[in-house]
Every structure is written in C-alpha cells, then in structure tokens.
Amino acid sequence: MGDCEGLKAPDAAAIEAMAREVLAELPAEFAGHAQNVAIRVAEFATEEMLDELQMDDPFELTGLYDGIPMTEKSVSDQPGGPDVVWLFRRPILDEWAARGNVTLGELVGHVMTHELAHHFGWSDADIARIDRWWE
C-alpha cells in the first residue's frame, strides 16, 4: 500500500490551525479588524445555510461568512455574537483531492481569505476581480 498506509484526513483542529495561520499573516491594515472574527470548522454546512444560499449540494460550499460586513456595521448594531468564518471540512478535502495541484494549506488559505473579504464588505464580484483562484 505504499506511503499512504495509516494516514488520516486532517481533522477539524488541523483545518482551524491552517485558518489561524492565515489570520496571523494578514497585512496590518486588515489584521486588527479580523481578530474579532471567530473561526468555526464543521463537517458540512447546515441545511439552513444551504437553503439560505439556495444550494442543494453540501459539497459545493467550502466556506461561509456569517456576520455583518464592516462596511454595514453601525454603533447601534446589537451584536448577537461574533462574526464567524465557517470552514466546511469535507467539501474542502473533496476540492483539495479533486484539484490535486495545491496544498491543503493553500486551499484553506484561499477559502479563509475569501470569507474574510466578505467581512471587510467585499462582494463575490469584487473578490473575483483580484483573485482568479476559483476560475
């Protein structure tokens, strides 16, 4: 069986550690604002998340920003909890295996950066203009 014997897929803690590395390496102008964002790793998005995005296949969603973008926050907002970047382990691992040409850390980094961009108020179109990763 070669070198793969006994290897296990990275668990949620490993994915979270990779995401925290992304936070630690953010440029100074973003780092302060991103420190208040919680990172959560789940196997898959919930049915409610998928329904809200009008998605059927849980493997299509690798990450999700759940919060109020900084550009829309006001002092009158009553925080119901921290803004959260969700990372979905199984879809991330599935995409990583399907791509075959990137490290897991690179993929987690791109998902994390994409979701943080939403925290900063960027739309998917804004992100796509500077990040061609998903094409």
- This prediction has a pTM of 0.86
pLDDT at 122: 87
Query: Which regions in the chain score pLDDT beneath 50?
Result: 1-3
The Cα angle at residue 1 between residues 96 and 11, in degrees rounded to 5 = 40
Class of the domain covering 9-70+81-130: alpha beta
Rounded Cα–Cα distance for residues 135 and 131 (Å): 9
**All structural domains of the chain with their residue ranges:** 9-70+81-130
pLDDT at 133: 61
Distance, CA of 52 to chain centre: 17
Rounded Cα–Cα distance for residues 122 and 58 (Å): 24
